[in-house]
């Protein structure tokens, strides 16, 4: 299996290589099965996806869907709309979730008061419990978070699969297609998320946020990428 993974990070971002290793670990695939492309250096053409079995979209360093100030945003929207039209197997994580919401007509806003950084409990919705991927999770599960932006409006055509008190929209699926996205980070585990928190402490840490930060195991959420690939492989 060959997977294209999109990143959106500047070359000096300390989490550039870290994120790559996290996707390798979470998918369980050999390192050479994952092809990493940085959106900062150009957005892949749709025809390039035909050389891969699935697409994954990672997080972001300084970039925000709520303030799209980089050239890659519009062509990335076009790419994601193409993905949805063709039902190409895709999983978006955090920034990838927000890109998908935005591309399909939803709204993402900067809302640090409701930011989630650390380990948080999520609850499956009725749609999540019935979903072929999320339905294997317990009703309540721990997930790794790292966001100050959140989706405030999601198109009614996209079922919301999980929620938290601060951010009710936490996961989506494109109906009838092998396309999922999560506001949380299934590619991170407890240790990796703490490493990211430490690297971005000036942005995410300080004061009350340090006091509330929790690092907890998230085995169920961290299994999602591997099970996503199993579903893709079966189809």
Residues assigned a catalytic role: 94, 185, 187
Q: Are 19 and 59 in contact (CB under 8 A)?
A: yes
Give the span between the Cα atoms of 94 and 57, in whole angstroms. Answer: 8
225 Cβ contact partners less than 8 Å away, ≥ 6 residues apart: 23, 26, 27, 56, 91, 186, 187
111 Cβ contact partners less than 8 Å away, ≥ 6 residues apart: 148, 149, 150, 152
CA 87 vs. chain centroid, Å, equals 18
DSSP state of 99: H
Chain position carrying tokens 């402490």: 201
Strand partners, 141: 122
């Amino acid at each position: 299996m060959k997977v294209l993974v999109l990143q959106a990070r500047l070359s000096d971002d300390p989490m550039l290589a870290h994120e790559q290793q996290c996707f390798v670990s979470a998918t369980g695939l050999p390192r050479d099965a994952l092809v990493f492309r940085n959106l900062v250096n150009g957005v892949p053409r749709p025809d390039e996806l035909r050389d891969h079995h699935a697409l994954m979209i990672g997080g972001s360093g300084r970039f925000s869907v709520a303030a799209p100030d980089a050239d890659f945003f519009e062509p990335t929207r076009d790419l994601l709309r193409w993905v949805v039209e063709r039902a190409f197997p895709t999983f978006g994580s955090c920034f990838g979730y927000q890109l998908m919401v935005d591309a399909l007509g939803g709204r993402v806003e900067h809302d640090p008061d409701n930011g989630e950084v650390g380990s948080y409990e999520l609850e499956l919705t009725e749609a999540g419990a019935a979903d072929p991927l999320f339905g294997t999770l317990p009703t309540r599960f721990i997930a790794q978070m790292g966001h100050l932006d959140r989706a405030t409006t999601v198109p009614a055509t996209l079922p919301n699969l999980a929620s938290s008190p601060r951010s009710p929209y936490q996961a989506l699926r494109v109906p009838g297609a092998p396309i999922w996205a999560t506001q949380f980070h299934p590619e991170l585990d407890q240790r990796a998320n703490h490493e990211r928190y430490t690297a971005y402490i000036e942005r995410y840490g300080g004061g009350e946020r340090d006091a509330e930060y929790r690092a907890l195991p998230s085995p169920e959420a961290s299994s999602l990428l591997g099970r996503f690939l199993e579903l893709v492989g079966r189809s």
